[in-house]
Structure 1
Amino acid sequence: MADLHFELVTPEKLVRSEDVYMVVVPGSEGEEGVLAGHAPYMTTLKDGNLAIYRTQGSQPQTLRVSGGFAEVGDNGLTVLAESAE
Structure 2
Amino acid sequence: MAEKLHFSLVSPQRELFSGLVDQVDAPGAEGDFGVLANHAPFMTALREGQLRVHNNGQVTVYDIRGGFADVTPEGLTVLAEHATEAV
TM-score, normalised with respect to structure 1 = 0.93
1:39 aligns with 2:40: yes
Aligned residues, how many? 83
**1:22-61 → structure 2 map (5 Å cutoff):** 22-55=23-56, 58-61=57-60
* Residue ranges of structure 1 left out of the alignment (5+ in a row): none
**4+ residue runs over 3 A deviation:** none
In the other structure, the counterpart of 1:78 is 77
Q: Distance in 1 between matches of 2:31 and 2:59?
A: 18
**Deviation string, structure 1 residues 54-73 (Cα, Å, up to 9, x no partner):** 12xx2421100011000100
Q: Distance in 1 between matches of 2:58 and 2:8?
A: 19
In the other structure, the counterpart of 1:19 is 20
Q: Distance in 2 between matches of 1:2 and 1:71?
A: 19
In the other structure, the counterpart of 2:67 is 68
Identity across aligned pairs (percent)? 47
State the AA in 2 paired with 1:70.
A
* Residue ranges of structure 2 left out of the alignment (5+ in a row): none
Q: Distance in 2 between matches of 1:51 and 1:16?
A: 12
